[in-house]
Every structure is written in C-alpha cells, then in structure tokens.
Amino acid sequence: MIADRLQRVQARIKAVDKNQQVTLIAVSKTRPVADLQQAINAGQRHFGENYLQEALDKIEVLQGQGLIWHFIGAIQSNKTQQIAQHFDWVQSIDRLKIAKRLNDQRPKDLPKLKVLLQVNIDNEVTKSGVSIDEIDEIITQFKGLTNLTLKGFMCIPNPDNSEQSFTKMRSVLNQYPDLDVLSMGMSYDLEFAIENGASFVRIGTDIFGKRD
C-alpha cells in the first residue's frame, strides 16, 4: 500500500520534473517504524522528522540502510546537540542562535551539517522563519560557521496562495548564486513547487495516508 502510494507520488514528480533533479522527502513524523520500512523497501531514502525523540528512536532502529535524515521541525536550544549529532540536514533554522549552537555541537568526525534557512515567505504570525528582509544579514553571519554548509531555503507558504509564494521564493534564491536548494511543496501543491524550482518536496499524507 505504501509502496503503491510512493510510486504515485514519484509519478507526479516525474511528470513535472523534466530534468529529474527533485528529491522526494518522506515526512514520517508520528508514523511507526514499520511504515518507514515499507517505504525503504520501495526505494525511499530521504526522511523528514519533526519531533526529536521520536526521530532518534527511528534513526537507531533503521541504521545501516543508507538513509538520509532531515530535521524539519521547530528547534529548541536544548535540542540542538542531538540534532547536530544525528541528522544529515536541518531545514528549519529560523534564527542565528540555533545555527551557532548546531555549528558548535556538530561532531568533528562527521561531514559538515547541511542546513536551510526557513523563510516566512508570507509573513504569517503563526509560522516560524526569517523575513526576506533579514536574509542578507543572517547569511553574512553564516560565513563563520565552519561546521555548517548553508545550501538554500525552506518555506511553508499559506496554502491559499502557495503558487505566488513559490514564485517569490524562487526570486529570493536567484539573488544568492552560492545557494542552490529550495525545499518547498507538499502533497497538495508539489507541482506548483517543482515548476518554481523546488529541489526538495516534503510529502507525508500522500505516502503514508492520513494520520489517525
């Protein structure tokens, strides 16, 4: 069942992603390990988790299968050490303090932690993320964080105007030639996101079904 749904999502991506450059991230928060293993058996390798302790349990159980783990949830200061130790990507950096802590706590024997700056593209008070006006200053500060690699941006647009928000996000990325990753697009709007240059799409429901 999960394998079938995964195949349908991949077909949707392929229909829009003519250059085959988009990476599918299976958003697996609250899903049991058995569901993730079904997706893994069907070829899925990138997983996105929002809740740290739940994610750490899954990472331990599923180790040795060549998986790539993305942290995509809100980050509290007391969680940065374990995130820095166990994840390959962090997509939800919304303030410099968190970036500095991840940098300082990244183990030296691991590759640099790949990170994205979360942008509050629609300036919604209910969502995390930096405003477009803050990006320049924060990116300048990243130059001293030698254990991180800033790759680009992540956004969660208002679903009522996601297409316009994706267009705006693409224009933001175009201003930074050293960055090349956009994480945007979910089950309901992945086509719009890919058409506007998404590198990662984050899909949960259409792979794992509706949550209980």
**pLDDT of 130-147, one tens digit each?**
999 999 999 999 989 999
Residue 175 to residue 143: CA distance in whole angstroms = 17
Neighbour-count burial of 82, counting CB atoms closer than 10 A to its CB (0-12 exposed, 13-18 middle, 19+ buried): middle
CATH number of domain containing 67:
3.20.20.10
- The pLDDT score that the predictor gives to residue 210 is 86
- The pLDDT score that the predictor gives to residue 20 is 82
pLDDT digits (tens, 9 = 90+) for 21-43: 999 999 999 999 999 999 999 99
Domain coverage including residue 184: 2-208
Q: Residue 122 pLDDT more than 80? A: yes
Report yes or no: 104 and 113 within 8 Å, Cβ to Cβ.
Answer: no
Average pLDDT of the residues of the chain: 95
| Calculated CA dihedral for residues 37, 55, 181, 124, nearest 10 degrees | 120
Of 22-31, 39-48, 157-166, the range with the lowest mean pLDDT is 157-166
Residue 202 to residue 116: CA distance in whole angstroms = 14
Residues 6+ apart with CB under 8 A from 80: 98, 101, 102, 105
For the chain, what is the domain count? 1
Residue 104 to residue 108: CA distance in whole angstroms = 10
pLDDT digits (tens, 9 = 90+) for 106-121: 999 999 999 999 999 9
